[in-house]
Structure 1
């Protein structure tokens, strides 16, 4: 029962809010007319009981017309208040509506006051308060006590209007904040989607560039020995086939993630532990790649693991494509607070001009992990070097 009682007022308010404003105001005017007519009838009976003559017949139509301006209370609340109050005062002076006997004939003045308190601000707000109190005292002249009661009712109407206005403003503010929060969520989702598209594009570039570079090197090697050493040519073509299948598998996995975004967390990402296998694929292209690991491995954040793998993959791919190198070295120096990765080769070294997309991608990946990147000639002035340093994650951190 208590829940039903609490729900009914809310449902009633919602039903009223769904009605057209003019229909609501028409009902208010009708109720106001009925109330005022009843109040005036009570006042006339009181006047007759003390020997006064009945009022002229046209007083009743005039009283019925008094609440009509309330139909425009939303558009011009202050003007409606003035018109209603002055009309009531002018009609009370010659015919003594005896509002001192009851306050029902002033109900339209109270409603106008509620409307002004709800809609008006600034100078209209305070002018309406003073005007309404003054009109009440002008109408109620026979009893100071009843004049005070009339002023108190006016104050209550004023407070009711202001409370309703505050609830309206609070509801609007909450709606705005809810909309802003929804927009912020949408913006974060769009940003996350854009970042994920960028990551996938980089991964596809790394996968394809690495696989195609190996396939080109193996194809050239196979073509060179196909007539002299069939066994070597067969191994080269097998390496091409294996590299193509591996790249195709990774691309299918990635495209499957694009079709089903919920499977993203289940898709395995390459890590530092898979670098030896990456080195083996490069060795199959007849490049002498040496891998050196120094120090004790420490935990790395997952995004850092992926970034390091893709960085080494891009560095070795660039070596295959551009360096014309015969030897290369991948060195991992582990320390408690950081990991340093160095990829060097004995090739032609850096070429002048703007860095390619691969090197730019390396800087963006490692920078996002809080690391640093240096590229250029090796320490001995020959070949090319990619030097990366990333912070480690403490084993007891949460």
Structure 2
């Protein structure tokens, strides 16, 4: 029952669109826009120039006793839809349909062999059939088919010609219906794929932010716990703690534990059920092991480090390690067989890292960019900057600079 109502509603809307809707201009194709515009315009001008004399001759022969003004009007009714139907197919079809419906009524001779459409009108109806049928859906297409049968049965008096015209229109409409259905299915698939990709990108960003928040939570929780423990045990570890100082230590401990509890309440949901996050976080000293693992896998990678003996905050070490890890992973995935160089330098209160790979031995399809998004998020959270881009020789470079003691850590 609901399906029948839907069909009736679609049919009603299709007829209403053909008869009363305001025509909308067909957009030009995006690819090679200028060439397509000029090509279509040249074709339309040539076809109009060729068929205009045909229309004048046809109308003059069919109406030999009417005034030249009426002949010109009837000819314009046939020619005018030609330049309109390309960009305004509904308007062009309406004018052509009215001309096909009423112009034969005034004919003296039947010069086209009981065929209801003049040669000038055939390209108009063909273009309108294709454009409107494919763009506006099944209901509009079959209403056009039904309305086009009206002049056929009104002005053609032999059953054979009526049957031939009906079969021709039906075959064309059925083919367009089939093609239109395939195109609509493809458009729906493309739209669904785009929505899926957007959702994947959004989810990847959220997951990366959650992972960064979890790691920062682990580091901050560790230091907040140390503050609370040191403040609580200060009176027992030192003999020179006065009563006033003991109260200050108790206040510090209480505030530290309160802040720790609030932070765990806000971020604890991000830690749910992931045992891997309980493992020790990587540090800059683990970079050698990372590179060694890649070498064992056959990757040609070189690592240069300067100043890693300096003490750096844990979040900075984790960030540098993860960025280098992700950049090396991208290099091995998107440029297999290419040599990779990595460098990490600690100097002047900043950490500078750079990972570059040469052009790969084979061309691989680029990813969605989630890794780069995650790296930028990591570096930005610590007050740094990251750049990534392709080199002139076909290689790829990732470079980042971040402070050794970012404002978020002091």
TM-score (norm 1): 0.42
